[in-house]
Amino acid sequence: MDGVEQTNESWRILIVEDDERLAELTREYLEGNGLTVALETHGGKAVERIRQEQPDLVVLDLMLPGEDGLSICRRARPFYPGPIIMLTARTDDLDQVLGLEMGADDYIGKPVQPRVLLARIRALLRRVTENSSAAAEEGSGEEPVRLQFNDLIVDRSMREAWLNDDSIDLTSAEFDLLWLLASNAGRVLSREEIFTALRGIEYDGQDRSIDVRVSRIRPKIGDDPIHPRRIKTVRSKGYLFVKEA
């Protein structure tokens, strides 16, 4: 059994999975590693469960009776800020891209290895904890909590961004990526660096989640998707946030 971390004691996970045997086995493994796990097997009930329970993280299957995972993710996002991990038995990149566009933070292909799922859950929840700690330490002077680039403002303590004083609608994962790029303005970040910083695991060279999120962030911050000036793609290297775009 993996070692139980002190911070795991308060983490509550909701698993939405119609395969009851798989869901129970997954719950047993996660609870054996210090997490508190609730199950929902019907897609039609998932959105209300998320709304009422506000778990720390949701593990969401793609194919569900009553309502599919993509629809659940899209409908839950306006009121649920926590991480969502999408499970998919398909290998089609389109499902993964759609999941990210609906607001999922990560996805894992089936069959799911419990150790991999646990590692992804811990990585996402650590990120949330670290962001909360950074907000609590505002004013310490160690790291900036607000960055401004002309008409764009990004505030880490509030986890919000504004363009021309208008609030920008960003998912949690999109904000984390924007902050990472903006706080490293003027420096090219490789996909490997970004992937490791945001997800806590090594980049496999094939994952498209970073590219999808960059493409979604660009128009939201007033960047030209075709000829970007603020977040530039540096061929064969990564992404560059331009200080004076």
Helix then strand then coil, % of the chain, to nearest 5: 40, 20, 40
Hey, which bits of 74-227 come out as E strands? 84-88, 106-109, 146-149, 152-155, 160-163, 166-167, 188-190
Task: With both helix axes pointing from N to C terminus, report the angle between 172-183 and 209-220 in degrees, rounded to the nearest 10.
Answer: 80
Bridge partners (DSSP) of residue 40 are 16
| Residue labelled with tokens 């004013």 | 139
**Sign of the CA dihedral 76, 78, 83, 85?**
positive
Protein fold of 12-133: Rossmann fold (3.40.50)
Rg over alpha carbons for the chain, rounded to the nearest Å, is 18
Which pLDDT belongs to residue 54? 95
pLDDT of residue 227: 92
Rounded Cα distance, 17 and 60, in Å: 7
Query: What is d(CA 58, CA 35) in angstroms, rounded to the nearest whole number?
Result: 12
Residue 149 phi, psi dihedral angles, 5° rounding: -130, 90
Residue with tokens 């303005």: 185
Q: Say what the pLDDT of residue 5 is.
A: 42
CATH code at 143-241: 1.10.10.10
Spatial separation of the C-alpha atoms in residues 223 and 121, rounded to whole Å: 32
Query: What tokens were used for 163?
Result: 């363009």
Those residues whose C-beta lies under 8 Å from the C-beta of residue 4, and which sit 6 or more positions away, are: 33, 34
pLDDT by residue, tens only, the chain of 245 residues: 444 444 555 799 999 999 999 999 999 999 999 999 999 999 999 999 999 999 999 999 999 999 999 999 999 988 998 899 999 876 666 666 777 778 888 888 888 889 989 988 998 888 777 666 555 555 455 567 899 999 999 998 888 999 999 999 888 788 989 999 999 999 999 988 988 888 766 666 666 778 888 998 999 999 998 899 999 999 888 999 998 76
Cα 59 to Cα 121: distance, rounded to the nearest angstrom: 9
In 3D space, the residue among 93, 94, 71, 66 whose CA is nearest the CA of residue 84 turns out to be: 71
- How far apart are alpha carbons 56 and 58 in whole angstroms? 7
> Could you tell me the residue ranges of all domains in the chain?
12-133, 143-241
Q: Please tell me whether the peptide bond between 65 and the residue prior to it is cis, using omega within 30 degrees of 0.
A: no
CA-to-CA distance for 103 and 64, rounded, in angstroms?
18
Query: 177: helix, coil or strand?
Result: helix
Length of the chain: 245
Kindly give the interhelix angle for 43-53 and 69-76, rounded to the nearest 10 degrees.
30
